Amino acid sequence: MQDIFVEFFSFSDPNVRYVVLGTLLLTSSAAIVGSFALLKSKVLIGDAVAHAVLPGICLAFILTGTKNPIYLTLGAFTTGWLATVLIDQVTYYSKIKEDTAIALVLSSTFGLGILLLTSIQHTGNAAQVGLNNFLFGKAAALVSDDLKALSLLSLALITTVILFFKEFALVAFDKSFARTIGLPVRSLELLFTSLMVLAIIVGIRTVGILLIVSMLITPPAAARFWTHHLPKMIFLAAILGMLAGLVGSFVSYVAPAMPTGPWVVMAISLMAYGSFLLAPQEGLLVRKLKQHRHKKKVLTENILKIFYELGESDGHYYKSRALDALHQYRPLPAGKLLQGLKRLQKQNMLQKEGNKWFLTTAGKNKGEDISKLHRLWELYLSQYLKIKPDHVHEDAESIEHIITPALAKELRNLVDLNKE
């Protein structure tokens, strides 16, 4: 296995070089353009464009009788770009919504492409062999001319994104503001549409028409779980895409029966699902852990508040309280209540005396702080927001556990100013 690994990454075999470089160009350029497609919610349009390039490829072959990459690229770009215009026009001039227009264009153009492809296959023209590779992709069929064309297209994509990065970002996040400050929003959107069509054309030889949209959207979707900073997200998306490209290429090299494109998609999909679960800020497991910790915090603070308010009512803050008395004052599930009491005992907020519990000095001070925050928020809601008193308590119950010290200080200042 080690010998195969060394042999693969030495890139001594020209076929390996073509496959790896072609795949890296695809995944990186598609991920960069796909980052903006994700932000602009243009993913479905990308899927329609991917299907719409097939009739262009077939028409280019019919007119030229050759699989020259330049002619095929021009044909694919023409029909792909016209598909986006058609979607826009149908949406603008009719009552049909965008998702319906996308489905309409996707099905009709792809159907036309299949008809043309079938017709070509029945002509007996030997040059048409391999044309159906555009459907599912075949990275192993890449040759030197293909790689040159992919390199030029990828370079054009990346250069254009760099030159218009600020404009694309502004239009993606706030189109109205971009229009207000005088940016040519319509022209920028047409430019981006053209880039998306080019990105799809770059990728169809490797992963095929049916899977190319996954390379547009999955790398930036995975990267977004790790950062909210747009340049970092785009860079990370490109890195994840290239890593998936390497994995797919290596698998197909080790097992020649395994196609490169689907394995590239499987690799980036696993990365996306892994990011969804494990990302340190937005991952599902981290969010679940934060929710669990917050629930424990809310429970322990509510218990401390029970002890403090009972002490206020009878004047004995350090009096031992039985579970029944605590539950009678504020009904809490018995199991949860006992867990919270034990947790507070470990934190030295409570002490146990027989079957009863009592506050420590630290617990009394913490309970007092929580109760004051609750009342402070109630006062703010009633005095400043003019909310009726009977609607205030429940809101204060939830917000008191997340008020930061800075916010608490500001609330106190507001209340003090109001008193003056």
Within this chain, do residues 204 and 343 fall inside the same structural domain, yes or no? no
- Range picked from 66-70, 294-298, 388-392, 407-411 for highest mean pLDDT: 294-298
**Residue type at position 61:** F
Q: What is the mean pLDDT of residues 206-214?
A: 77
Mean pLDDT for all residues in the chain: 83
Q: What is the pLDDT of residues 45-81, one digit of tens each?
A: 888 888 888 899 889 888 888 877 788 888 888 998 8
Domain shared by 336 and 197, yes or no: no
- Domains of the chain: total: 2
Asked which of 191, 210, 229 is the last residue of a domain, the reply is 210
- 80 domain-assigned: yes
Q: What is the mean pLDDT of residues 247-254?
A: 83
Q: Which residues contact 297 (CB under 8 A, 6 or more apart)?
A: 401
Same domain assignment for residues 50 and 195: yes
Q: Is residue 265 part of a domain?
A: no
C-alpha–C-alpha distance, residues 38 and 44, integer Å = 10
The pLDDT score that the predictor gives to residue 237 is 93
- Residue-wise pLDDT for 322-356, tens only, equals 988 888 888 888 888 899 999 999 999 999 988 89
One domain for residues 83 and 176? yes
213/196 Cα distance (integer angstroms): 10
State the sign of the Cα–Cα–Cα–Cα dihedral 384, 388, 393, 398. Answer: negative
Q: Where are the alpha helices (H) located in 279-360, listed in sequence order?
A: 284-314, 323-329, 334-346
Return d(Cα 105, Cα 108) in angstroms, integer: 5
Could you tell me which residue, 139 or 281, shows the higher pLDDT? 281
Local confidence band at 270 (pLDDT 50, 70, 90 cut-offs): very high
State mean pLDDT over 157-182.
89
Full domain range(s) for residue 120? 16-210
Per-residue pLDDT band for 362 (boundaries 50, 70, 90) equals very high
Angle at 308 between CA 306 and CA 314, to 5 degrees: 100
pLDDT greater than 80 at residue 16 = no
Q: Is a pLDDT exceeding 70 seen at residue 118?
A: yes
Give CA–CA dist 217/36, Å, rounded: 9
Query: Is 60 in the same domain as 178?
Result: yes
Q: What is the pLDDT of residue 396?
A: 66
Of 41-50, 236-245, 356-365, 397-406, the one with minimum mean pLDDT is 397-406
- Element housing 331 (H / E): none
Domain contains 228: no
140 neighbors 260 (Cβ within 8 angstroms): yes
Does residue 66 sit within a domain?
A: yes
Does the pLDDT value for residue 133 go beyond 70? no
For residue 101, being part of any structural domain is answered with yes
In a domain, 259, yes or no: no
User: For residue 271, is pLDDT > 90?
Assistant: yes
Residue 48 lies in a domain: yes
Q: Three-state SS for 29?
A: helix
Which whole-number Å values give the CA distances from 142 to 15, 48, 147, 242, in the listed order?
8, 25, 7, 17
Q: Within 13 Å of residue 149, how many CA atoms lie on the same side as its CB?
A: 20
Between helix 165-173 and helix 185-207 the angle, nearest 10°, is 100
Q: What is the CATH number of the domain that holds 134?
A: 1.10.3470.10
State whether 53 and 176 are in the same domain.
yes
Contact 26, 245 (CB under 8 A): yes
- Give mean pLDDT, residues 28-40: 87
What is the C-alpha to C-alpha distance for residues 229 and 162, in angstroms, rounded to an integer? 16
Residues 396 and 296 in one domain: yes
Does the residue 33 lie in any domain?
A: yes
* Direct distance between the N- and C-terminal alpha carbons of the chain, in angstroms, rounded to an integer: 80
How would you list the strands of the sheet with 350-353, edge to edge? 321-322, 356-359, 350-353
Q: What is the pLDDT of residue 7?
A: 66
pLDDT, position 262: 82
**pLDDT of 389:** 65
Please indicate, yes or no, whether residues 205 and 326 belong to a single structural domain of this protein. no
Of 161, 188, 210, which residue constitutes the final position of a domain?
Answer: 210
pLDDT at 404 (0 to 100):
73
Residue ending a domain, among 184, 210, 236, is: 210
* Residue 316: how many other CB atoms lie within 10 Å: 13
Q: What is the CATH number of the domain that holds 363?
A: 1.10.10.10
Q: Please indicate, yes or no, whether residues 38 and 161 belong to a single structural domain of this protein.
A: yes
- 178 & 306 share domain: no
